[in-house]
Structure 1
Amino acid sequence: MLLHIPQVLGTVALQAVREQLAQAPWADGLATVGALGATVKRNHQVPADSPQGEALARAVEQAVRQQPLFVSAALPRHVLPPLFNRYAGGETYGLHVDGAIRQAAGLMLRADLSCTLFLSDPDTYEGGELVVVDTYGTHEVKLPAGDLVLYPASSLHQVLPVTRGVRLASFFWVQSLVRDDARRAMLFELDQTNQSLLRKLGSCAETLALTNQYHNLLRMWADT
């Protein structure tokens, strides 16, 4: 499931993140990639262990956890600390797949979902589309600043060359309570349908039955 989640960062929060990134140190993105990825990766990243990187990671994680649509779709067990990258001057990240296991806070965590939070207004740079390849085809994603795209970490994907301007983004991974993408998609559709009915009908026998089924399926499929 590929999902667009709008306005994860509002105008004030987005401006604060951009100001911190303007003061942050930048390092070659090759420092955080394996031998295979190094052949196709050309960008810069904020070191995760820098004061700016740690502060920015906390701010973005807090923002995404407060988004009901993100929680409904991702069912997060762990949100790995967000990272920050910059593409300019033709920089790109060729077709690749993210590693299945990531390390954070001394834990080995499974990456079920990949997330990209766009931080630059799309009209300020050319290129830089996130291209995700799945069983339904190839999808180019270039969202407004502050918006996030969520997609299975098992997907092949790439960032096209940025030929004008600067593309800033945050990226991170999620270990979900439900590792199977098809089951997560079913739970998400059921939850969103029930939420819509609750707004229209309020609490009633039908919405209670749907809520019961949702939680029983989650109980059956969740890894805790």
Structure 2
Amino acid sequence: MTCEAVMILEIPELLNAQEVAYLRQTAREGKFADGALTARNLPKGYKENLQLQPTQKQANEINAIVRRALARNERVGDYVMVRDTSLPMISKYEPGMHYSRHVDNVLIGWPNPIRTDMSMTIFMHEPDTYDGGELEFDSDLGLKTYKLASGGAVIYPTTHYHRVTPVTRGERLAVVVWIQSFIADPTQRRIVGDLRHLASEFAGKPELKSEHDMLLRSALDLMRMWVQN
């Protein structure tokens, strides 16, 4: 896991090989629809991809896989603090497809929407099986580009401008999820995440017990101030 100054979290192997295999098979067997249908407020040609139309059983299983993966990952616990998630969406990009620079909607998942504090892309194919399809971000530090191994995830504030570059060979398959955090403010979330991460680094080291306890107490005190139930 790496954490950029702009709070983009890179988490290798968020999904294990068995979970990736199930999602790939579901995509192979499923029906896809034009992704532009979910972006009616964007100009024509701005979003060109395909989105899986899962059965209810498939949707439930995909959702369960993603939720389990988020719950078991320590860095997600430290830095994301998941309160709720949207239903995962499997997107597919074939040659010529792309998604131009944009920010995601603030509410997703009608009729019971969640506030979108963070967005997540889980890569489902190995990088050498397709060309293009990079996930790109504009930031104060310049352009950031991600194209992870299968099962790897990128989690980022939903307010970040981002794009998917055109695919020129092969197929880009990804799972996209939106996350509502217990802490809405990204700066507050980062502060708590840093404290919790440092506390976990000190855990199990008797000579650093007082430092561990102080860091953890500070993180918990800030959470009591900032958590939104």
* Residue aligning to 1:169: 174
Of 63, 66, 70, which aligns to 2:72? 66
Measure, in 2, the Cα distance between the counterparts of 1:218 and 1:37.
41
Q: What SS class does the counterpart of residue 61 from structure 2 fall into? A: helix
Aligned: 1:21 with 2:27: yes
AA aligned to 1:188 is: G
AA aligned to 2:80 is: A
* Residue aligning to 1:223: 228
Of 99, 109, 112, which aligns to 2:105? 99
AA aligned to 1:181 is: P
Aligned: 1:124 with 2:126: no
User: How many Å apart are 1:48 and its aligned residue?
Assistant: 5.4
- Contact kept, 8 Å, 1:46 with 1:53, in 2: the verdict is no
- Contact kept, 8 Å, 1:48 with 1:83, in 2: the verdict is no
Aligned: 1:157 with 2:162: yes
Measure, in 2, the Cα distance between the counterparts of 1:108 and 1:68.
26
**Superimposed CA distance per residue, residues 58-98 of structure 1 (whole angstroms, 9 cap, x where no aligned partner):** 22222222212112111111111111100011100011110
Aligned: 1:78 with 2:70: no
**Superimposed CA distance per residue, residues 175-218 of structure 1 (whole angstroms, 9 cap, x where no aligned partner):** 11111111111111111111101143377222112111110001
Aligned-residue CA RMSD in angstroms?
A: 1.7
- Contact kept, 8 Å, 2:30 with 2:52, in 1: the verdict is yes
User: How many Å apart are 1:148 and its aligned residue?
Assistant: 0.4
Measure, in 1, the Cα distance between the counterparts of 2:228 and 2:43.
30
Aligned: 1:180 with 2:185: yes
Q: What SS class does the counterpart of residue 228 from structure 2 fall into? A: coil
Aligned: 1:198 with 2:180: no
Measure, in 1, the Cα distance between the counterparts of 2:43 and 2:120.
18
Of 2, 7, 13, which aligns to 1:7? 13
AA aligned to 1:46 is: L
Q: What SS class does the counterpart of residue 145 from structure 1 fall into? A: coil
Measure, in 2, the Cα distance between the counterparts of 1:148 and 1:199.
28
AA aligned to 1:172 is: V
Which contiguous aligned blocks of 4+ residues in structure 1 show a shift greater than 3 angstroms? 48-51, 199-203
AA aligned to 2:199 is: N
Measure, in 1, the Cα distance between the counterparts of 2:214 and 2:77.
21
Aligned sequence identity (%) = 30
Distance 1:108 1:202, change over 3 A: farther
Distance 1:54 1:202, change over 3 A: farther
Moved more, 192-201 or 142-151: 192-201
Q: What SS class does the counterpart of residue 199 from structure 2 fall into? A: helix
Measure, in 2, the Cα distance between the counterparts of 1:34 and 1:190.
41
Measure, in 2, the Cα distance between the counterparts of 1:23 and 1:202.
55
Structure 1 portions without partners, runs of 5+: none
Moved more, 51-60 or 185-194: 51-60
User: How many Å apart are 1:162 and its aligned residue?
Assistant: 0.6
